[in-house]
């Protein structure tokens, strides 16, 4: 499920927006999605502050580029940069570069090119899904007014030129699904001061992230999913005060997330670190004041304590930590988690706790019953013993619960929804559990 969700940009709806409108989903007794749909409609009529249109799609109306009337005439600097790019392309099966000719002076008419109407400078280059083969030519950075570069899903080989750090006005960089795009993210990227969206997912990038990474002070939406990026997360990351969606999943990041990471990411809503080699989180995450969703699945965390900082994030609501090799007693920080607040949750977040497929032993903590807004609890395939605490009867928002493949015993809380979950929520495993939906207790 989450693969589907995090492939699209999250839509943050600020809590203040919902509060300003005086909406409390529970009082309205409407489904949460309906309330959010209404809020989104109202918000989208208001402008772009709360709903972020940043993605690599076809929404040209949304990329902030205003073409003024009249036919712009392209600058020779830009024409030369484009011709250098063309010269490094070895195969163009769809002939999209056919009209890119030195003899056709006005490059503003060339396929995929958009100029600013007033200045004639190239502001957008957009050629996704074209099977273009060749290198990404360093000379492309001669397009010094470029705001949007979209070259997703092509067959470029080689690395990202360091000169791309010179795109001082670039707002959206979309170079995803280019399987042979390799090498590191250049140190020079720290100079991309206007960049808001970086989508480099599903390439073959490697090496560590440059220490300058946190200097991209306008970065809001980051997708690095599915590369081979290694090493620790650089401390400068904590300076990205605009970043709200951060996907570093499916890479080779290692070590503890540095304390500095939690310093200033005050806009961060979703953090995907799953499928890496991360061993722990910062101890104090209280400055991550909007963080609602963290995915750490498939990392070698080893102990519950290594991620105890999570309970200091004031709005944390969706915690995914399956298959993290966690052994020992139930993580103590669970008792300190804030109860997820529906009124503050974006429409993609589902209040949940997933600790499945670890080696957690001992008893279930009574305090879990305080998280009354949880919708999913998945604890299957651990070494849990003892009863399901009576306090769990207060988890009245639960829509999914799974404790199969443990060694729990005693009476299942005999209230809905516990009595109405499928038997497979409790069995196989737990030979000592009884009561509905299982057989009556003796």
- 231 or 264, CB closer to ligand NAG? 264
Question: Could you tell me the smallest distance in angstroms from the CB atom of residue 329 to ligand NAG?
Answer: 22
Do residues 164 and 140 make contact, with C-beta atoms less than 8 angstroms apart?
yes
Count of Cβ atoms closer than 10 Å to residue 429 Cβ:
16
- 330 or 426, CB closer to ligand NAG? 426
Question: Could you tell me the smallest distance in angstroms from the CB atom of residue 297 to ligand NAG?
Answer: 14
Those residues with Cβ within 8 angstroms of residue 61's Cβ, 6 or more apart along the chain or in another chain: none
**How far, in Å, CA of 163 to CA of 421, rounded?**
57
Which residue stretch of 181-189, 344-352, 368-376, 420-428 sits at the interface with ligand NAG (rule: CB under 6 A)?
420-428
Q: Does 174 bind ligand NAG (CB under 6 A)?
A: no
Q: Does 185 bind ligand NAG (CB under 6 A)?
A: no
Which residue stretch of 63-71, 76-84, 133-141, 256-264 sits at the interface with ligand NAG (rule: CB under 6 A)?
256-264
How far, CA to CA in Å, does 216 sit from each of 51, 60, 162, 302?
Answer: 21, 23, 15, 33
**How far, in Å, CA of 246 to CA of 271, rounded?**
5
Per-residue contact string for residues 386-405; x = within reach of ligand NAG by CB under 6 A: ----------------x-x-
Q: Is the peptide bond before 149 cis (omega within 30 degrees of 0)?
A: no
Those residues with Cβ within 8 angstroms of residue 302's Cβ, 6 or more apart along the chain or in another chain: 279, 324, 325, 326, 327
| Spatial CA neighbour of 421 closest among 440, 441, 403 | 403
- 149 or 425, CB closer to ligand NAG? 425
- 150 or 425, CB closer to ligand NAG? 425
- 159 or 380, CB closer to ligand NAG? 380
Q: Does 380 bind ligand NAG (CB under 6 A)?
A: yes
Do residues 154 and 130 make contact, with C-beta atoms less than 8 angstroms apart?
yes
**How far, in Å, CA of 352 to CA of 229, rounded?**
29
Length of the chain in residues, anyone? Answer: 442
| Total chain residues near ligand NAG (CB under 6 A) | 12
- 202 or 357, CB closer to ligand NAG? 357
Residue of 421, 430, 433, 436 interacting with ligand NAG (CB under 6 A): 421
164-197 residues labelled b (16+ CB within 10 A) or e (exposed):
bbbbebbbbbbbbbbeebbebbbebbbbbebbbb
Q: Does 287 bind ligand NAG (CB under 6 A)?
A: yes
Question: Could you tell me the smallest distance in angstroms from the CB atom of residue 428 to ligand NAG?
Answer: 8
Residue of 189, 213, 263, 293 interacting with ligand NAG (CB under 6 A): 263
Which DSSP symbol is given to 250? S
Q: Does 284 bind ligand NAG (CB under 6 A)?
A: yes
- 203 or 322, CB closer to ligand NAG? 322
| Spatial CA neighbour of 414 closest among 429, 428, 400, 434 | 434
Q: Does 330 bind ligand NAG (CB under 6 A)?
A: no
Do residues 303 and 326 make contact, with C-beta atoms less than 8 angstroms apart?
yes
Question: Could you tell me the smallest distance in angstroms from the CB atom of residue 307 to ligand NAG?
Answer: 16
Question: Could you tell me the smallest distance in angstroms from the CB atom of residue 284 to ligand NAG?
Answer: 4
**How far, in Å, CA of 154 to CA of 134, rounded?**
9
Q: Does 297 bind ligand NAG (CB under 6 A)?
A: no
Q: Does 324 bind ligand NAG (CB under 6 A)?
A: no
Residue of 294, 398, 425, 433 interacting with ligand NAG (CB under 6 A): 425
Question: Could you tell me the smallest distance in angstroms from the CB atom of residue 327 to ligand NAG?
Answer: 20
Do residues 127 and 151 make contact, with C-beta atoms less than 8 angstroms apart?
yes
Which residue stretch of 12-20, 78-86, 169-177, 419-427 sits at the interface with ligand NAG (rule: CB under 6 A)?
419-427
Residue of 257, 262, 379, 408 interacting with ligand NAG (CB under 6 A): 262
Q: Does 420 bind ligand NAG (CB under 6 A)?
A: no
Q: Does 357 bind ligand NAG (CB under 6 A)?
A: no
Those residues with Cβ within 8 angstroms of residue 181's Cβ, 6 or more apart along the chain or in another chain: 136, 156, 157, 158, 159, 160, 175, 200, 203, 204, 205
Residues near ligand NAG (CB under 6 A): 262-264, 284, 287, 380, 402, 404, 421-422, 424-425
């Amino acid at each position: 499920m989450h693969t589907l969700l995090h492939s699209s940009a999250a839509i943050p709806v600020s809590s203040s927006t919902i509060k300003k409108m005086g909406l409390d989903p529970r009082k309205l007794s409407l489904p949460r999605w309906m309330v959010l749909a209404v809020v989104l409609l109202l918000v989208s009529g208001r402008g772009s502050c709360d709903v972020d249109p940043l993605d690599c799609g076809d929404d040209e109306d949304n990329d902030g580029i205003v073409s003024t009337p009249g036919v712009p005439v392209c600058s020779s600097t830009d024409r030369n940069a484009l011709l250098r790019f063309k010269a490094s392309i070895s195969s163009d099966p769809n002939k999209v570069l056919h009209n890119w000719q030195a003899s056709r002076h006005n490059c503003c008419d060339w396929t995929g090119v958009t100029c600013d109407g007033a200045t004639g400078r190239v502001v957008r280059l957009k050629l996704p899904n074209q099977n273009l083969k060749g290198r990404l030519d360093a000379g492309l950075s001669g397009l010094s007014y470029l705001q949007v570069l979209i070259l997703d899903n092509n067959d470029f080989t080689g690395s990202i030129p360091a000169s791309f750090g010179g795109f001082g006005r670039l707002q959206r960089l979309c170079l995803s699904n280019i399987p042979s795009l390799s090498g590191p993210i250049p140190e020079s990227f720290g100079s991309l001061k206007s960049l808001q969206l970086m989508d480099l997912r599903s390439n073959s990038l490697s090496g560590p992230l440059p220490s300058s990474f946190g200097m991209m002070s306008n970065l809001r939406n980051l997708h690095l999913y599915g590369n081979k990026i290694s090493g620790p997360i650089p401390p400068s990351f904590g300076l990205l005060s605009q970043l709200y969606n951060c996907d570093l999943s499916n890479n080779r990041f290692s070590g503890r997330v540095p304390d500095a990471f939690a310093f200033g990411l005050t806009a961060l809503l979703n953090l995907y670190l799953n499928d890496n080699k991360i061993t722990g989180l910062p101890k104090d995450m209280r400055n991550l004041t909007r963080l609602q969703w963290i995915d750490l699945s498939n990392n070698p965390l080893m102990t519950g304590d290594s991620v105890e900082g999570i309970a200091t994030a004031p709005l944390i609501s969706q915690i995914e930590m399956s298959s993290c090799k966690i052994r020992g007693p139930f993580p103590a920080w669970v008792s300190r988690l804030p109860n997820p607040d529906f009124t503050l949750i974006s429409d993609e977040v589902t209040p949940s706790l997933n600790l499945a497929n670890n080696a957690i032993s001992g008893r279930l903590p009574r305090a879990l019953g305080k998280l009354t807004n949880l919708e999913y609890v998945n604890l299957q395939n651990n070494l849990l013993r003892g009863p399901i605490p009576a306090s769990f009867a207060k988890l009245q928002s639960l829509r999914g619960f799974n404790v199969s493949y443990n060694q729990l015993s005693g009476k299942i809380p005999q209230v809905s929804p516990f009595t109405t979950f499928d038997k497979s929520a409790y069995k196989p495993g737990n030979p000592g559990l009884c009561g509905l939906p299982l057989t009556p207790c003796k």
